[in-house]
């Protein structure tokens, strides 16, 4: 049964490296969580290597800029690996005529890979980084487009496996929801981000490059998303610190606080076995 901790410092001596989720742990898309950043800084001061692992479809330098704008400084981590980084390999290996489904700010994910951006009718590969407007749209709004892709056996390369994410105090759909809907329609999906192995292999390589060799038993993963952070870390054989105040908080929160009995029932129902938990990283 997961044990509640009050401070991250209680357990850092047991680890050499931390694989920490970003959205939902360090910020909510608008506001930073300063105590979380301070906890990671303190861990680094003790000699731990901190690699941020995020399902953002953006490339690592773009996420660095985003974190700075939100208020998370570089001192909170050593490296960043994004779903966008590892998804570029899938794009490069796939068909060369690509349709980008998502906001124009995500265009860097297909640049420099020898692929050609085309319109939907010409596309042989569908790269999904999200929605054109995630404030108002849902996957079903794209039904006609997706059915046409499916009928032509066009694979969807999903650059952000998250189903939803917090943005401030709202829940916003992500590319993972689009991929799930495309799969439901019979389409083929290809995914490298959390919970899939490629992104964890990349993060492990980054951590060992920064810190030197160490066993998996000395790695702690931190995250709040059940199908991505939690499932991915546990399947990869890592200890997990579950952040209960993230996207699943409504499942077990009573009077503004997590109810421990309901939380453990939720974790059991999800077949999740984190070693530790706390409401917010601090």
Q: Could you read off the pLDDT of 186-237 as tens digits, one per residue? A: 999 999 999 999 999 999 999 999 999 999 999 999 999 999 999 999 999 9
* pLDDT score recorded for residue 67: 97
Please give the average per-residue pLDDT across 105-111, as a whole number: 95
Domain boundary among 156, 174, 191: 191
Q: In terms of domains, do 236 and 155 share one? A: no
Mean pLDDT of the chain: 95
Q: Are residues 164 and 221 in the same domain?
A: no
Average pLDDT over residues 141-154: 97
Are residues 133 and 259 located together in one domain of the fold?
Answer: no
**What does pTM read for this prediction?**
0.92
Burial environment of residue 46 by CB neighbours within 10 A (0 to 12, 13 to 18, 19 or more): exposed
Are residue 267 and residue 146 in the same domain, yes or no? no
Note the pLDDT tens digit of each residue in 70-97: 999 999 999 999 999 999 999 999 999 9
Task: Note the pLDDT of residue 166.
Answer: 75
Shared domain check, 270 and 204: yes
Q: What percent of the chain has pLDDT over 90?
A: 93
Q: Is pLDDT of 168 > 90?
A: no
Range of 99's domain?
94-191
10 Å CB burial of residue 270 (0-12, 13-18, 19+) is: middle
Q: Is the pLDDT of residue 167 over 90?
A: no
- Cβ-based neighbours of 266, under 8 Å, separated by 6 or more: 248, 251, 252
165 has pLDDT over 90: no
**How many domains in the chain?**
2
Residue 155 placed within a domain = yes
Q: Are residues 78 and 199 in the same domain?
A: yes
> Do 40 and 99 fall within a single domain?
no
| Residue 89 within any structural domain of the chain | no
pLDDT-based confidence at residue 169 (cuts at 50, 70, 90): confident
pLDDT exceeds 90 at position 248: yes
Asked whether residue 240 is assigned to any structural domain, the reply reads yes
What confidence tier does 172 reach under pLDDT thresholds 50, 70, 90? confident
Q: Are residues 200 and 80 in the same domain?
A: yes
* Same domain as 231, residue 159: no
Map residue 100 onto helix, strand or coil: strand
- 79 in the same domain as 211: yes
58/133 same-domain check: no
CATH number of residue 38's parent domain: 3.40.50.1000
């Amino acid at each position: 049964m997961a044990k509640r901790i009050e401070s991250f410092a209680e357990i850092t001596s047991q680890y050499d490296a931390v694989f920490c989720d970003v959205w939902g742990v360090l910020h909510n898309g608008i506001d930073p969580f300063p105590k979380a950043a301070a906890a990671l800084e303190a861990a680094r001061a003790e000699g731990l290597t901190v690699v941020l692992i995020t399902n953002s479809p953006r490339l690592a330098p773009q996420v660095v800029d985003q974190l700075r704008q939100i208020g998370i400084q570089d001192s909170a981590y050593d490296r960043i690996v994004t779903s966008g980084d590892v998804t570029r390999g899938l794009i490069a290996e796939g068909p060369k005529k690509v349709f980008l489904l998502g906001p124009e700010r995500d265009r860097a994910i297909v640049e420099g890979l020898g692929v050609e951006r085309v319109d939907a009718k010409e596309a042989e590969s569908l790269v999904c980084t999200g929605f054109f407007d995630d404030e108002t749209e849902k996957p079903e709004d794209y039904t006609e487009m997706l059915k046409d892709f499916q009928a032509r056996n066009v694979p969807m390369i999903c650059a952000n496996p998250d189903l939803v994410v917090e943005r401030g105090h709202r829940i916003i759909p992500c590319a993972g929801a689009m991929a799930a809907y495309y799969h439901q329609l019979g389409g083929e999906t290809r995914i490298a981000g959390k919970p899939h192995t490629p992104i964890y292999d990349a993060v492990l390589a980054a951590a060992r490059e920064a810190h030197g060799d160490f066993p998996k038993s000395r790695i702690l993963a931190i995250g709040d998303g059940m199908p991505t952070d939690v499932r991915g870390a546990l399947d990869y054989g890592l200890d997990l610190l579950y952040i209960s105040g993230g996207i699943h908080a409504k499942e077990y929160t009573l009077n503004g606080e997590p109810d421990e009995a309901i939380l453990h029932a939720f974790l059991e129902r999800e077949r999740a076995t984190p070693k530790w938990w706390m409401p917010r990283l601090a």
